Amino acid sequence: MGPGTGCFTHVLYANVPERCKVIVIELNPDYIPHLREAYGDLFEIIQGSAADLDAYVEERGWPRIDLIVSGLPFTLPSQVMQPLMATLQKRTDAGAVYRWFTYFPRMMERHYRRFAFRRVRSVFLNLPPMWIYTVN
């Protein structure tokens, strides 16, 4: 979710087994052509809202999600954040691993109070420094 220009998507693309089914959800239509050109042979690129994750999964008839990776900011409007958080809670309660990063850990913690998250890594060589978290 929220791949933007594809920095993290590139790493996933290089490491995911071909048998895996991957959807990449990006809201900004300006990024879609690049994402489709770079990753469209292995990943399905969707121009849409991450808040609609459940609908995308149901459309494909998938029984579950194993991994969710997010580059979404925490400054999204509440009409997006609230349903997205509910979907993420539902999916992680069902066993999905959810990984995300933030540049603002204090702000992130407000949104993820309901989750049993833990910090995986801090990357201080990144500018600005980045914190990586996981659920499950």
pTM exceeds 0.95, yes or no: no
37-77 tens-digit pLDDT: 999 999 999 999 999 999 999 999 999 999 999 988 877 88
Burial pattern 57-96, b for ≥16 Cβ within 10 A else e, equals beeeeeeebeebbbbbeeebeeeebebbbebbeebbeeeb
Of 103, 109, 49, 45, the closest CA to residue 79 belongs to 49
Can you give the pLDDT at residue 75?
Answer: 79
pLDDT at 47: 97
